Structure 1
């Protein structure tokens, strides 16, 4: 799955199944995408209620409908 076309800045997201397995402390959290990069696999995200953004691998998040 190519998230660059599915996830854009400002898009809502939730953790994917892989993200929940790899980062269990973040399970059930959601937020918005604040930056993407075409050169790295990281996506900068801001979880709901967080003050600072976090960078996660593209495969760890999925679009929230």
Structure 2
């Protein structure tokens, strides 16, 4: 899983991972795009499809769709 997280870059399409679905059930079937990465912590800024504002999530909560 760590290798998959390392491949995430700005512009990457993603879906919520199994861990993310367990911890945040309201996001379980969401997909979106990465809009920002933090090098200082484990946060990742994403824009979920249909949302007007970005959300910050833990990197382990997302997985690449490709």
Q: Normalised by the size of structure 2, how large is the TM-score? A: 0.93
- Which consecutive unaligned segments of at least 5 residues does structure 2 have? none
RMSD: 0.8
Structure 1 consecutive aligned stretches of length 4 or more whose deviation exceeds 4 Å: none
Q: 1:41 aligns to what?
A: 42
Work out the number of aligned pairs and report it: 64
Distance in 2 between residues matched to 1:56 and 1:18, nearest whole Å: 12
Distance in 2 between residues matched to 1:22 and 1:6, nearest whole Å: 22
- Which consecutive unaligned segments of at least 5 residues does structure 1 have? none
